[in-house]
Amino acid sequence: MNFEFKIIKEKDFVIITLHGNLMDKSQAETLIERVDELVKNSCCKWAIDLKELIYMNSSGLNTLIQLLTKARVGGGEAVLYNMNKKINELILITKLNTLFKVSENKQEAINMLGI
């Protein structure tokens, strides 16, 4: 399954939905370009919905780290939510849960963004 993403801008934050399998850096190039545009427009509070992300490897983890870094450098934050069991285990095993803010659902993620 291919990797796709959707960005929906709300009033004070953005929902970034990831879908499919994220296994190669090149799959995320357009996503990174789009979030660079968000940062340029001072829109740096992102709730990242991982419900439809089926699988990712180290390249996918690197992409998530890039998103977090760009949000924080822009003065914002990125919160992960709706992770399936496999993705959640990967985040825990790599201890990225100590780096990212992680929530169970969209409303909790929005609250963690300070909205």
The domain ranges of the chain are 4-112
> For residue 1, is pLDDT > 80?
no
Long-range contact pairs involving 106-114 (C-beta distance under 8 Å, separation at least 24): 106/15, 106/47, 106/49, 106/81, 106/82, 108/81, 109/47, 109/48, 109/79, 109/80, 109/81, 110/13, 110/47, 112/77, 112/79, 113/13, 113/45, 113/46, 113/47, 113/76, 113/77, 113/79, 114/45, 114/77
- Looking at the chain, the whole-number percentage of residues with pLDDT higher than 90 is 97
> What pLDDT shows up at residue 90?
94
- 4-112: which CATH number, 3.30.750.24, 3.30.420.40, 3.40.640.10, 3.40.50.10140? 3.30.750.24
> Model pTM greater than 0.85?
yes
What integer is the mean pLDDT of 74-80?
97
